[in-house]
Amino acid sequence: MKSITVVGASLAGLYAAQALRQQGFDGELTIIGDELRRPYDRPPLSKDFLIGKIDTDFLRLEAADEDLYARWLLGSPAVSLDTSSRAVVLANGARVASDGIVLATGARARKLPGSAAMAGVHVLRTIDDALALRTELLPGARLVVIGAGFIGGEVAATAKKLGLDVTIVEAMATPLAGPLGAMMGTAVCGLHSANGVALRCGVGVRRLTGSDRVESVELVDGTVLPADVVVVGIGAIPNTEWLTGSGVALGNGVECDHQGRTNVPGIIAVGDCAAWHDFRLGRAHRVEHWTGAMERPAIAVAALLRGGGHGENHEEDRHACIPYFWSDQHGVRIQFAGHAAEADSVTIEDGSPENFCFLAVYRRGEIPVAVLGMNQSRAFGRWRRQLRTVHSATLQSLPPVLER
């Protein structure tokens, strides 16, 4: 390949560009981004950046002396893809053709219908989102966070630290039941109640009230929660609409094999927009975590550079590591690795959930499949390494047909 275009100046896009250079690609490299900003780190947006402890310079992902010898096209998003000529068309009319394409367009925050024109209602995905929200997190203000996921939980913890009156509303009866399971989801979310954050679970939002500015959140059970500020944290939507009609297979994201290869030769996908096949789950799914966006690009880039089609097996085949994510809330480090859905039991191996300092191991029969730690970084690290060993052994035992 003489030229490669990375669509998305995100964490995954940057790591893909770095991997291309590290793996010997010396051709023309173009990086397209819809924001005017160069790639930046998003996890601090809901924590230290939101509280004003760090500034935008701290979020920069590129080293001061780093030079990818790339052409940067920032401030105009991709609007279509012509796979026959491998050309990306931008909103400003520019057309970028190349031999290979990396799709890294990420995802955008899901918004509450009917809230777009109402002041005081926020999502948190970009630096600009965080800057807008930061100006409204004033001591004594009433904040309602819709969604008890990790972004919502981090915003709630940060706002409580700033002196706001905080309530979290979660439609599910058990917060975090999806990623952590019901028992551990309850244990983790108890951290909010212990720190003075009100939790309303098992009830959805009917509407936001107010004219020009939000005044309250009305729940489906008729409860009205006064609100000066609302943060909506109800998930993310992969940025894939621009690929409609291109021939690239789409589902809940860009459909890929276990190495990020799409159904179109010469096109790979990484990051939050990419749904990689997971043999353990038997389907493709998106992993929306920082570690995945950091680790997976090198795998996909290797597959792109050596050629071969979707699902083909090679001696150099590599698989993604087990999913891993962390969250910092109310001074507690929460870490999780693996797949909770695979487990048929969960045991506390050390510590106590009541003190929010414990380690829990998820097992399927006798085999560990996931681990959760709260303020147990050292023990968690040991169990995470053990999970990787189990994961690798399982991969090696698979017949090739199951890897496709």
How much is the pLDDT for 403?
Answer: 39
Question: Which has more confidence, 297 or 321?
Answer: 297
Residues 39 and 44: their CA atoms lie apart, in Å, by 14
Question: Which has more confidence, 364 or 282?
Answer: 364
Kindly indicate the confidence band of residue 397, based on its pLDDT and cuts at 50, 70 and 90: low
Mean pLDDT of 127-150: 97
Work out whether the CA dihedral 170, 174, 175, 179 comes out positive or negative.
negative
Instruction: Tell which residue, 169, 156, 231, has the closest CA to residue 196.
Output: 156
Kindly indicate the confidence band of residue 311, based on its pLDDT and cuts at 50, 70 and 90: low
Per-residue pLDDT tens over the stretch 226-241: 999 999 999 999 999 9
How much is the pLDDT for 307?
Answer: 83
Kindly indicate the confidence band of residue 390, based on its pLDDT and cuts at 50, 70 and 90: confident
Three-state secondary structure call for residue 264? coil
Q: Domains plus CATH for the chain?
A: 3-106+239-306 (3.50.50.60), 109-235 (3.50.50.60), 331-397 (3.30.390.30)
204 vs 24, 172, 222, CA distance in Å? 51, 8, 10
Is 50 exceeded by the pLDDT of residue 21?
Answer: yes
Residues 350 and 170: their CA atoms lie apart, in Å, by 29
Kindly indicate the confidence band of residue 113, based on its pLDDT and cuts at 50, 70 and 90: confident
Joined tokens for residue 323: 């999913």
User: Which is it for strands 198-201 and 253-255: parallel, antiparallel or unpaired?
Assistant: unpaired
Joined tokens for residue 122: 């926020």
CB 343 within 8 A of CB 381: no
Q: 391 φ, ψ to 5°?
A: -60, -45
How much is the pLDDT for 115?
Answer: 84
Mean pLDDT of 269-282: 89
Residues 335 and 35: their CA atoms lie apart, in Å, by 30
How much is the pLDDT for 315?
Answer: 43
Per-residue pLDDT tens over the stretch 83-105: 999 999 999 999 999 999 999 99
193 contacts: CB under 8 Å, gap ≥ 6: 199
Mean pLDDT of 22-50: 96
Three-state secondary structure call for residue 328? strand
How much is the pLDDT for 99?
Answer: 97
Question: Which has more confidence, 288 or 214?
Answer: 214
Kindly indicate the confidence band of residue 279, based on its pLDDT and cuts at 50, 70 and 90: confident
DSSP per-residue letters across 159-196: HHHTT-EEEEEESSSSTTHHHH-HHHHHHHHHHHHHTT
DSSP secondary structure code for residue 321 in this structure:
P
CB 198 within 8 A of CB 142: no
Residues 114 and 296: their CA atoms lie apart, in Å, by 36
Q: Is the pTM value of this prediction over 0.85?
A: yes
Work out whether the CA dihedral 209, 210, 213, 216 comes out positive or negative.
negative
Instruction: Tell which residue, 265, 260, 234, 268, has the closest CA to residue 107.
Output: 234
CB 1 within 8 A of CB 25: yes
Other C-beta atoms closer than 10 Å to the C-beta of 69 total 10
Mean confidence (pLDDT) of the chain: 92
How much is the pLDDT for 396?
Answer: 53
Three-state secondary structure call for residue 85? coil
Is 50 exceeded by the pLDDT of residue 3?
Answer: yes
DSSP secondary structure code for residue 261 in this structure:
B
Residues 401 and 65: their CA atoms lie apart, in Å, by 45
How much is the pLDDT for 393?
Answer: 65
First to last CA, the chain: 25
Instruction: Tell which residue, 292, 263, 257, 289, has the closest CA to residue 275.
Output: 257
The DSSP H or E segment spanning 56 is none
Residues 276 and 283: their CA atoms lie apart, in Å, by 8
% of the chain surpassing 70 pLDDT: 94
Other C-beta atoms closer than 10 Å to the C-beta of 299 total 22
Is 70 exceeded by the pLDDT of residue 395?
Answer: no
CB 137 within 8 A of CB 168: no
Is 60 exceeded by the pLDDT of residue 399?
Answer: no
How much is the pLDDT for 65?
Answer: 84
Q: How remote is the C-alpha of 283 from its chain's centroid?
A: 18
> Which residue in the block uniquely carries the two structure tokens 């990420």?
106
How much is the pLDDT for 404?
Answer: 34
Joined tokens for residue 281: 């789950």
Q: Residue 337 pairs with which residues in a beta bridge?
A: 324, 371
Least confident of 32-36, 63-67, 97-101, 319-323: 319-323
User: Which is it for strands 216-219 and 224-226: parallel, antiparallel or unpaired?
Assistant: antiparallel
Is 50 exceeded by the pLDDT of residue 60?
Answer: yes
CB 359 within 8 A of CB 376: yes
How much is the pLDDT for 290?
Answer: 86
Is 60 exceeded by the pLDDT of residue 385?
Answer: yes
